[in-house]
Amino acid sequence: MSFLNFTLLQTQLHWEDKNANLQILEEKINSISEQTHVVVLPEMFSTGFSMKPEELAETMEGPTVQWMKKTAASKRVILTGSVIIEEDRSYFNRLIWMLPNGQYGYYDKRHLFAYGEEDKHYSAGTKRLIASVNGWKVNLMVCYDLRFPVWARQQFDEEGAFEYDVLVYVANWPERRNLAWKSLLRARAIENQCYVIGVNRVGNDGNNIYHSGDSMVIDPLGEILYEKADEEDVFTIQLNKERLQEVREKFQFWRDADEFEILL
């Protein structure tokens, strides 16, 4: 498929109130009138960026994952965002990629935000998730991962095939550091020659930290295709595979890339 449609859902979140968040998110998702393939929600969309996993965590059979299954099926879209999950007596900031048929993949946030003591409450993931949809490959990341370019770095086979076409970050990224957010999203697009989508929340959280959103879509040359600050927004954009291939063929920077291996 030459085109892939993403809907970015930039919203305020009710602090540690799952029912309220799922209700407003369901209303916003049901309001989408454009044809879309993937709906992207912020990080910890059902609770906000909470350090209380002992109180808020669910299993993969819990109500939030069941809500994702129901919503993806009824809207016939892929639904993605991160939630607090308990598994094997550990807690994870887990991004879930939910298909309309109820099947799913997941990615556990690799880089935990020690400045906010996330590392004291959650366990880090060890594997990336690159999902496939309609001939596109989508690399899925969470918030603080954005600061670590090696984790997202494209690797290539002998024919120069790219690992992925779209890099997605879901976030609760504070306004006070939004220069880094906007700069690094563009950098990831340019260095990996891919589309980048960043979906952030807006409003104050339970710690009175303000989030300005600044959700963005960026093309493989670093051009901003969409950006929204401070306001709630539900925005659908169509990505063009031919445009992506043109950039990669004209600027074959991948030929000069360093070979590397990530050691965990």
Residues of the chain under the 70 pLDDT cut? none
Structure confidence at residue 73 (pLDDT): 98
Structure confidence at residue 207 (pLDDT): 96
Residue pLDDT, tens place only, 5-29: 999 999 999 999 999 999 999 999 9
Residue type, 225: L
Considering the candidates 18, 28, 109, 182, report the single residue annotated as catalytic: 109
Considering the candidates 43, 58, 118, 175, report the single residue annotated as catalytic: 43
The sign of the dihedral angle between the CA atoms of 202, 73, 78, 124 is: positive
- List the 3-10 sheet strands across, edge first: 104-108, 90-98, 78-87, 38-40, 3-10, 233-240
Residue pLDDT, tens place only, 125-138: 999 999 999 999 99
Residue extents of the structural domains in the chain: 3-256
Considering the candidates 18, 143, 175, 194, report the single residue annotated as catalytic: 143
Please provide the DSSP assignment of 217-231 as one string: EE-TTS-EEEEEESS
Q: How far apart are CA 30 and CA 27, in angstroms?
A: 5
**Among candidate residues 79, 68, 82, the one with its CA nearest the CA of residue 112:** 82
Structure confidence at residue 264 (pLDDT): 79
Query: Which residues 6+ apart lie within 8 Å of 7 measured at CB?
Result: 32, 34, 36, 38, 39, 40, 77, 234, 235, 236, 237
Structure confidence at residue 66 (pLDDT): 98
Residue type, 151: W
Q: Is 227 a catalytic residue?
A: no
Q: Is 194 a catalytic residue?
A: no
Structure confidence at residue 15 (pLDDT): 98
| Superfamily of domain 3-256 in the CATH hierarchy | Carbon-nitrogen hydrolase (3.60.110.10)
Q: How far apart are CA 76 and CA 70, in angstroms?
A: 10
Q: How far apart are CA 17 and CA 35, in angstroms?
A: 30
- Asked if 127 and 121 count as a contact pair (C-beta separation under 8 A), the reply is no
Structure confidence at residue 20 (pLDDT): 98
